[in-house]
Amino acid sequence: MPSAVVLLADGTEEMEFTITFDTLVRAGVKCCSAYVPPQTDVNPPAYATGSRGIRIMYDEVFDAARFSPNSYDALIIPGGAKGAETMSNNAGVQDLVREFLAQGKIVGMICAGSLTALTSKLPRQPLTSHPSVKTQLANDYDYSDESVVISDKLVTSRGPGTAFPFALTLVELLCGAEKRDEVRAPMVFPSGTPF
């Protein structure tokens, strides 16, 4: 059974977190949510407060040693400006992004979460993000306006409106195209949906 750690922080876009986590669980991926505190010396509460006020209880507090690519197949970084700022500036998260990719494991970033590519000093490659942070990324990467961009094991996406194709792409990479179709069907997307 593939496994994924999905990061969560105060200010995380709760739709991006929830759509990705839930869709991966539907595919049979063992998911763990890991809370990245705003400062390392803070005693964290039992939940993260999302960008629109939804309070989500996390499974574990983030710890780079515990969530290594030896234990998980994918590392997911959702957006939400404030949450992505916390995650992208966390040295442990930056280390883990490089370690996952170095070991050929999947890293997913969506919305402002894509800023973590820059702070982790990933080399120039194709990626996308929320349009609001495009100028921070366009000089250092081959910036794309596609909804989902796959660059070897780095999967990036744009915002809540692309969270379903982002999550289904992760399902396909972790579990295969058949599983993607199996998970997608009972979600009942409108006819004509382009993913």
Based on the residue annotation, tell me whether 178 is a catalytic residue of this protein. no
195 binds a second copy (CB under 8 A): yes
Cα 7 to Cα 83: distance, rounded to the nearest angstrom:
9
Q: Which amino acid is at 144?
A: S
Q: Which stretch binds a second copy (CB under 8 A): 64-72, 82-90, 101-109, 124-132?
A: 124-132
CB atoms within 10 A of CB 142: 13
31 binds a second copy (CB under 8 A): yes
Based on the residue annotation, tell me whether 14 is a catalytic residue of this protein. no
| Pair of tokens at residue 59 | 């499974």
| Pair of tokens at residue 177 | 């195209």
- Active-site choice (13, 14, 31, 130): 130
Residues 56-75 that bind a second copy (CB under 8 A): 56-57
Q: Which residue lies nearer to a second copy by CB, 123 or 194?
A: 194
Q: Say if CB 93 and CB 6 are below 8 A apart.
A: no
Q: What is the chain's Cα-based Rg?
A: 15
- Active-site choice (16, 31, 172, 175): 16
123 binds a second copy (CB under 8 A): no
Residues with catalytic annotation?
A: 16, 111, 130
